[in-house]
Structure 1
Amino acid sequence: MIRPALTLSAAIVLSVCIFASGHRLLAEPEDSGHDYPEAASYLVSDDAAADVDAALQRAAANEKRVLLVMGANWCHDSRALAGWLETDRFAQMIAANYELVFVNVGRPQSGDGHNLGIARRYGIEDLPGTPNVLVITGGGELVNRETATTWKNAASRSEDEIFEELVSLAQKAV
């Protein structure tokens, strides 16, 4: 009787911690059939523009950059990138260099886009696929204009390739 109660209590605590921290549940590579961790859900904010503005303020105050990931739940590349970003290796690097913000963009390729004004704010007029990764200084300057919309193959990129690019963008001169 005690064991089922403890199991239930542990499950409730874990669920509350995940909900309170805003993290997505991950499917491990061996569970998903992929060689990358995949986020089970890509969170959607009620006010993505305010989330970006708050991240910019934190980035300016902490001498970091904003890592703005614009993707969607339906997109396996978005979920793959989100999954990598939640691993310990990435989380430590991100905490040291970035303020991370996920923004749902819906399906911009089919005319059902959301929050596209955020990309336009940084001079990105078209999102040809998902995800898109914008690295922005605390002062609001886009660091990676040439590569921001090239992440639609995130699921096929290696962990090291993604990690090295994000480290490089954290240090890139504007």
Structure 2
Amino acid sequence: MRFPGVSFVKQSALTAVFTAAVAFSVTGCKQQAPEATPTVSTTPATPAKVKPPVVTTPPAVKAHLYDDDADPNKLIAAGLKQAKKEHKRVILDFGGDWCGDCQVLDIYMHRQPNWDLLNNNFVVVHISVGHIDKNLEIGERYGVALSKGVPALAVLDANGKALYAQAGGEFESMRYMQESSVTEFLNKWKA
């Protein structure tokens, strides 16, 4: 910094004052407390154990949620057997791999707190409806109106009794719904 018409010594002094003023304005004039003064230790320091950061990856879209070749009656029987053993309920999830809303529902179910609610209270059975031309009689058996769209859900107790059947396409527009709608559903029907 140069000041015209001022000697070198005065310029140095003015520069020092200016620098100090800037430093005080940036850092403040707070004096460090005596106990905060670092001390020198002669013992070697032990490195602190640092926990690695928890990395969570968002659930991925699954290519094959619904098996077109699976026997839905066998899937339901296996789900009921597991539910009875684990004192849970069964969610019948009717849909197709082509269905974007079905994928969104699956993603929402795998996010917290839904994932814990699902694991602790339900066995999920995915039933393929093809292109709404397959396993329609299974939906009818449980009172699910597949003509209203998919995904469509039913909740069964461990004995196979339908406790809930989606009748009005409640989940068929999952892409426009909030995750909290899945949370509310799971809380309402949990075992």
Give TM class, smaller chain. Answer: 0.5 to 0.7
1:32 corresponds to: none
CA-based RMSD of the aligned residues comes to 2.2
1:31 corresponds to: none
2:165 corresponds to: 145
**2:91 maps to which of 67, 75, 78:** 67
- Flag structure 1 segments of 5+ consecutive residues without an equivalent: 1-26, 29-36
Matched residue count: 133
Instruction: Provide the C-alpha distance between the structure 2 equivalents of 1:83 and 1:163, rounded to a whole number of angstroms.
Output: 12
Q: Report which of the two has the higher share of strand.
A: 1
Instruction: Please give the TM-score of this superposition, normalised by the length of structure 1.
Output: 0.67
Instruction: Provide the C-alpha distance between the structure 2 equivalents of 1:61 and 1:86, rounded to a whole number of angstroms.
Output: 23
For the 8 Å contact 2:64–2:97, the answer to whether it is kept is: yes
- Flag structure 2 segments of 5+ consecutive residues without an equivalent: 1-56
Instruction: Provide the C-alpha distance between the structure 2 equivalents of 1:137 and 1:148, rounded to a whole number of angstroms.
Output: 21
Identical pairs, percent = 24
1:165 corresponds to: 185
Runs of 4+ aligned residues of structure 1 deviating over 6 Å after TM superposition are: none
Partner SS for 1:144: strand
For the 8 Å contact 2:92–2:124, the answer to whether it is kept is: yes
Structure 2 counterparts to residues 19-168 of structure 1, below 5 A: 28=58, 39-45=61-67, 46-108=70-132, 113-124=133-144, 126-145=146-165, 149-168=169-188
Give the number of the structure whose alpha-carbon radius of gyration is greater.
Answer: 2
Post-superposition CA distance 1:124-152 (Å, at most 9, x none): 36432010011111111111235574210
Instruction: Provide the C-alpha distance between the structure 1 equivalents of 2:73 and 2:183, rounded to a whole number of angstroms.
Output: 26
2:17 corresponds to: none
Q: Report which of the two has the higher share of helix.
A: 1
Instruction: Please give the TM-score of this superposition, normalised by the length of structure 2.
Output: 0.61
Q: 1:78 to 1:38 in 2, by over 3 A?
A: farther
